Each structure stands twice: as structure tokens, then as C-alpha cells.
Structure 1
Amino acid sequence: MDNRKAELIETLLPKDTNGYGNIFGGVIMSIMDKTAGVACWRYSRKRVVTKCAQEICFHTPVNMGEVVYSRAAIVHVGRSSMEVEVEVEAENVMDGTIRRAASGIFTMVALDENWHPTPVPVWQPVTETDIEKWQAAELRRKRRSHE
């Protein structure tokens, strides 16, 4: 199993919905954050916290009773930070249709027992796709450092 990835599966309840019967965006973001955290926790074997959530897009509403699949993959590793792409799909289990519901990028930071940033294992991309994602992450890091 790839220790840079994680997947969570959930079904949501009426308390998670707005007046239209759709799942609140904040609930979906929370699931995404948890999935990113699990991927980084698994990879670093350290406690992790969210530093940044960006480029979050909601592609289609998620309805109560649908199954939500959240998948995360680390695409960049710094000294103590990890950038994670998260994709969410919604499945209507009654008819079997699955659609892309949300996507986003999370930056997590590993912390030591004193809650200070701590180094994580080094990772270098090998595949062309991983290299492209790494380079895109480098550009986002540079943008954030100039804000």
C-alpha cells in the first residue's frame, strides 16, 4: 500500500444538510481535511495539523443518503510540510451513479511532542505525473510565500 495515500468513506445524515437536502460544504471540507490528515499522518508517522486549504471547488451537490468517497494523495513534501490533493466523489447507491463532487489542496505540517514543526521523510517524485504535480506545488508554495 502507498503510504502517501488515504481514503475515507462516509454516508451523511440529516444534521449534515442544508434546507435543500444537500450536504453543507463545510461538512465536505471537514471530510477532505480528515482524509488529507490521515494520508500525512500515515506518511510521516507524526501528529499533523492543517496549515492551509486552497483551491477547494464544489463540482456538484452531495445529497443526504449518498455515499461519499474522499481520496487523498501527497503530491509534495517539504521539510515539515506535506501538500495533499483531495478528490471527493458522491455515489447514489440506488442507481449506482458516481460523480465528482469536490476537490482541493491541503497543506499539513508535522509536529513533534512539543507542538513544533518537525522533519518528515524525504520523498521525490518519479513518474511524469508526480513530477508535474510536484512542480505545480512548488509554484503554489512560492505564491503563498509572497502573500
Structure 2
Amino acid sequence: MEFKTVKESKIILSELMLPSHSNFSGKIHGGYILSLMDQIAFASASKYSGFYCVTASVDTVDFLNPIEIGELVTLKASVNYVGRSSMIVGIRVDSENIQTGKIKHCNSSYFTMVAKDNEGNSATVPGLILSNYEEVRRFYNCIKHISLKKHKNHHEEVFDYKSDEALKGLEKYNIKLEIK
């Protein structure tokens, strides 16, 4: 079996934020940043696997700080976990005020990417060589995340949201039930 290092998946993308990237409040549109994140996830996973890769899921994206017009946005991505045909790519987004040099962490996310062969079938990806404790930490975080996701999916399958107990539990929220 072939193995590759995390370093072989690393990609850095920097782009100056223009007025055309802004939303109605004058900040950079979150959708535009998500598009850049998807591009770098594709590049990282494809570079690592040697195959065309598709996005299978995007896990929590928390927008921590707004990005201003004129700031330089830098995205850093690397493969943090590999399965048989899937990879979890960790992405960090920072913005820099190029006049002051101040850098802000804007968001981080995990994209699950799947390698595809020329016929569109899932392709086997190389194993991952972990070269330092930070890479081990990231790999373990992915294992934990996968486990939590499986637990959540199982909970949603067996939870009876129509039961009297479940409906009564909603009373503490800012809702009004009008189910007929």
C-alpha cells in the first residue's frame, strides 16, 4: 500500500478581497469564502490522492471574524484523516489588513472529500504518514468527529420527536406549536 505525508497535501491560497466579493453590509460575503474553501479542499485532496475529488460534506463553519474589503485572505488546507476513498481536509482562513499587518482568524472547517476514478467510482487513496504530534492530534480529532457524527445520525434515527415527552420538551423554546 502507498503512503503519503500530510505535507504532500498542503495547499495555501491567498486572495485580495475586492468590493465585488462583499455583501450588503460591506463585509466579504460568507458564500464567497465558502467557495474558496471548497476550491482549496478540492486542491488539497486531489493533490494528495492523485484523483479527481468531490465534496461529500462540509462540517461546521463558524464565521469568527468578519473580513473587510481590501484585506488579504489566506486559506491553508491539509489532509488530516484518510479512510479507504475519503479524506478529511482541515481548512483555516485568516485575513490580514495589509496596511497594519494585523491578522485575524476568520474561520476553520473540515471538508470530507471523496476520490473518484475516471469512471466516477470511489478510488482508494494512499495511507497517511503522521510526522509530528500536531498531525496526530488532528487525526484523533477527526476520529472523534466521525464518532460524534455517527452517534448524532443514530440519535436522529431513533428519537421520537412526535412523542408527548418530546413535544413537552419544546416548551422552553421561543416557539408556538400549532400542529393539527
Q: TM-score, normalised by structure 1?
A: 0.92
What is the RMSD of the two structures over their aligned residues, measured on CA atoms? 1.5
Aligned equivalent of 1:54, options 59, 68, 75: 59
Segments of 5+ residues of structure 1 without an aligned counterpart are: none
Letter in 1 for 2:111: F
Q: Aligned residues: percent identity?
A: 32
Tell me the SS of whatever aligns to 1:137.
helix
Aligned equivalent of 2:23, options 2, 18, 21: 18
Segments of 5+ residues of structure 2 without an aligned counterpart are: 154-180
1:129 equivalent in alignment to 2:134: yes
| Residue of structure 1 in register with 2:106 after alignment | 101
Tell me the SS of whatever aligns to 2:62.
strand
Quote how far apart the aligned CAs of 1:142 are.
Answer: 2.6
| Residue of structure 1 in register with 2:175 after alignment | none
Bigger CA drift: 80-89 or 130-139? Answer: 130-139
Higher strand share: 1
Q: TM-score, normalised by structure 2?
A: 0.76
Q: Deviations over 1:37-56 (max 9, x none)?
A: 11111111110011111121
Partners of 1:126 and 1:70 in 2: CA distance: 22
Partners of 1:70 and 1:28 in 2: CA distance: 9
Letter in 2 for 1:90: S
Tell me the SS of whatever aligns to 1:26.
helix
| Residue of structure 1 in register with 2:120 after alignment | 115
Tell me the SS of whatever aligns to 1:135.
helix
Tell me the SS of whatever aligns to 2:134.
helix
Quote how far apart the aligned CAs of 1:95 are.
Answer: 1.6
| Residue of structure 1 in register with 2:86 after alignment | 81
